[in-house]
């Protein structure tokens, strides 16, 4: 019953989003950002694209499966002290000097919530594997045992429009190992197995993802599945900054998303095989960075994406970069942000595009 009420509440909030924005009567108004002299950073007034205008958004989420009373329910309704993003006038004067190739971006001071940079931060777009941050929070909130063994199934591995998985049907991993692979290496099969084995199954898991997003104040966010392969998983740079800030409060998420690599002895065809997995964000292995949380994403509809928590120039910041134009453009934009915060003139943005999903 609680799951159904949460789902109904989420649907109402989604379709009420456009009206509440138009009337400017939100309980938590977003920072008003003045228009810059250059069109590189589109900041205020931004014409938002709301979820109700995204194709397919009118489709209802699957009906959740009732959880047994003895099963620990997700704490998705427990409110996180959301990052209170406020306008930083001094930083706004420097917007012109930061030219990013990403279609949308936001940089926020994590300690005080000051908005340091914004570009199309309220525009709803596909977020690809950034979705796995929410997948991880739902798993950890649920209280399910991380040492429980889960057998990978064919439905977890053989999904359409995905890069080949290192996992194979029949392999046995603990829930904690699956969580690490989903976060560090962006393994889609691992994320799918986590949701499938969740109490109540996939539909209950997706309902918990959306309930958690609602509890965090992510007003323009919707999840349809746990991997991010579905372009219907949508959000904004603003909302993802809130999600990254919340994810940073989980020690295991911080640890797994910043691990450079991990070797796992897996049983493949009844014999042990050592398989090496690597972090999908090369910056975590770069000595110039102090990264506390990281998650990348890519599908054609989303472009190259990344959310990070990092310490730059003695300041803890949340960085969200969406729809960068190529395999290296995501990292180049991250370095531009870093140099900008350090007072170093950033390099000129480049344009390039590739097609591999991550």
Is 129 one of the annotated active-site residues of the chain? Answer: yes
Catalytic residue among 103, 126, 129, 197: 129
Comparing CA positions, the residue from 296, 303, 320 lying closest to residue 121 is 320
Is 97 one of the annotated active-site residues of the chain? Answer: no
Q: Give the whole-angstrom CA distance, residue 88 versus residue 230.
A: 35
pLDDT in tens, 102-141: 999 999 999 988 889 999 999 999 999 999 999 999 999 9
Catalytic residue among 102, 142, 186, 331: 186
Is 197 one of the annotated active-site residues of the chain? Answer: no
pLDDT, residue 40, reads 41
HSE value, Cβ hemisphere, 13 Å, CA-based, for 60? 8
Per-residue pLDDT of the chain (358 residues; tens, 9 = 90+): 444 444 444 434 443 443 344 343 333 334 433 333 333 443 333 333 333 333 333 333 333 333 333 333 333 334 445 576 766 566 566 666 788 999 999 999 999 888 899 999 999 999 999 999 999 999 999 999 999 999 999 999 987 655 678 888 988 999 999 999 999 999 999 999 999 999 999 999 999 999 999 999 999 999 999 999 999 999 999 999 999 999 999 999 999 999 999 888 866 566 777 888 999 999 999 989 999 999 999 999 999 999 999 999 999 999 999 999 876 899 999 999 999 999 865 444 333 333 444 4
Q: Is the peptide bond before 45 cis (omega within 30 degrees of 0)?
A: yes
Neighbours of 66 (CB within 10 A): 12
Catalytic residue among 103, 119, 132, 165: 132
pLDDT, residue 72, reads 34
Q: Rounded to whole angstroms, what are the CA distances from 36 to 43, 44, 89, 129?
A: 7, 8, 11, 31
Please tell me whether residue 339 adopts helix, strand or coil conformation.
helix
pLDDT, residue 274, reads 83
Q: Write down the residue that tokens 């047994």 correspond to.
A: 68
pLDDT, residue 26, reads 36
Q: Which two tokens stand for residue 15?
A: 């379709």
> Buried b vs exposed e over 89-101: b needs ≥16 C-beta within 10 Å?
eebbebbeebbbb
Helices assigned H by DSSP within 126-277:
131-142, 154-157, 175-184, 188-196, 201-215, 237-247, 251-257
How big is the chain by its Cα radius of gyration, in Å? 20
Q: Give the whole-angstrom CA distance, residue 247 versus residue 209.
A: 13
Domains of the chain, start order: 2-64+72-342 (3.40.710.10)
Residue 340, judged by CB atoms within 10 A of its CB (0-12, 13-18, 19+), counts as buried
pLDDT in tens, 75-95: 333 444 557 676 656 656 666
pLDDT, residue 326, reads 75
Q: Give the whole-angstrom CA distance, residue 221 versus residue 240.
A: 9
Q: Give the whole-angstrom CA distance, residue 165 versus residue 162.
A: 8
pLDDT, residue 213, reads 97
Q: Is 308:290 a contact under the CB 8 Å cutoff? A: no
């Amino acid at each position: 019953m609680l799951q159904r009420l949460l789902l109904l509440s989420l649907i109402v909030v989604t379709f009420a989003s456009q009206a509440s924005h138009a009337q400017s009567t939100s309980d938590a108004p977003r920072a008003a950002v003045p228009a810059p002299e250059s069109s590189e950073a589109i900041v205020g007034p931004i014409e938002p694209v709301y979820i109700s205008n995204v194709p397919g958004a009118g489709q209802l989420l699957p009906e959740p499966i009732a959880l047994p009373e003895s099963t620990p329910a997700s704490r998705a309704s427990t409110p996180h002290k959301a990052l209170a993003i406020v306008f930083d006038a001094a930083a706004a004067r420097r917007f012109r000097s930061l030219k990013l190739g990403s279609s949308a971006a936001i940089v926020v001071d994590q300690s005080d919530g000051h908005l340091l940079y914004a570009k199309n931060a309220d525009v709803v777009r596909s977020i690809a594997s950034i979705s796995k941050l929410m997948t991880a929070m739902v798993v950890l909130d649920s209280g399910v045992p991380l040492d429980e063994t889960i057998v990978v199934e064919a439905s977890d591995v053989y999904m359409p429009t995905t890069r080949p998985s290192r996992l194979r049907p029949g392999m046995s991993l603990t829930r904690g190992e699956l969580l690490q692979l989903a976060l560090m290496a962006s393994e889609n099969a691992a994320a799918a197995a986590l949701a499938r084995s969740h109490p109540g199954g996939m539909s209950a898991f997706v309902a918990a993802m959306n309930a958690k997003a609602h509890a965090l104040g992510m007003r323009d966010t919707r999840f349809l599945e746990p991997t991010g392969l579905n372009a219907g998983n949508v959000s904004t740079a603003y909302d993802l900054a809130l999600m990254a800030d919340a994810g940073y409060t989980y020690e295991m998420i911080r640890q797994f998303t910043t691990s450079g690599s991990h070797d796992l002895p897996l049983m493949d065809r009844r014999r042990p095989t050592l398989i090496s997995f690597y972090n999908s964000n090369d910056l975590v292995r770069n000595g110039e960075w102090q990264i506390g949380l990281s998650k990348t994403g890519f599908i054609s509809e989303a472009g190259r994406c990344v959310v990070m928590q990092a310490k730059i120039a003695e300041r803890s910041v949340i960085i969200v970069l969406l729809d960068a134009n190529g395999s290296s453009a995501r990292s180049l934009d991250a370095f531009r942000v870093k140099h900008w915060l350090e007072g170093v003139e950033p390099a000129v943005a480049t344009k390039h595009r590739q097609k591999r999903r991550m």
